[in-house]
Amino acid sequence: MNAKINKIQSNTPLIGTIVTLNNPQITEMLSSAGFDWLMIDMEHSTLTIGEVQCLLQSMHPDCISIVRIPGNDPVWIKRVLETGCDGIMVPLVNSEDEARVAVDAAKYPSDGSRSFGVSRAHGYGARFDSYINSANQETVVLIQVEHIKAVNYIEQILSVKGIGGIFVGPYDLSGSLNRIGNISDEEVQKAIDIVKACC
């Protein structure tokens, strides 16, 4: 298993930041500055998939690369993983079934239904066999909990094999509790504590 995945699974705090700008120098500098991970955001930015791949190509190889996809869609999951990122973040997952969709689309058979293609992730064919043989173990699937529905079903969501981590979206969560933007509100913090405790 590669060193980046060992780092993710080490249970130690990792520090990172979110990238929304199409500037490879930014990702090059941030990934070389000591951050453990960068999350390139396609959900709340104008970044295209081609621009995302260029940003990934500029990153230091030791920095974990996560791409937040626009939605829980198998086509987006497949296309983004083919850019060669280390994993994906899937927004607004509110149920066990939705979590299964995400994991299934990110994993090759027999663990999932991801289709096969030759792309940057596979070294344009040069590393096809090694990538296929390791991708299911080394591709990180992060699930976003950002609605009270997800909090209510967090134990079921966490039961889905293949989830690599949970990312709480406090602002959307506050909106789902009719406390939009007030992330310090007692009810919002209580919901976040529930997720943390279950994780």
Catalytic residues: 44
Output the six-digit token pair for 68. Answer: 């937040």
Q: What is the C-alpha separation between 148 and 88, in angstroms, rounded?
A: 22
Q: Hunting for tokens 């490879």 — which residue is that?
A: 24
With a CB cutoff of 8 Å and minimum separation 6, the contacts of 6 are none
Maximum CA pair distance of the chain? 53
Q: What is the C-alpha separation between 126 and 131, in angstroms, rounded?
A: 10
Handedness of CA 61, 144, 45, 135 (dihedral sign): positive
Count of all residues that appear for the chain in the document: 199
CA angle 42, 46, 47 (to 5 degrees): 55
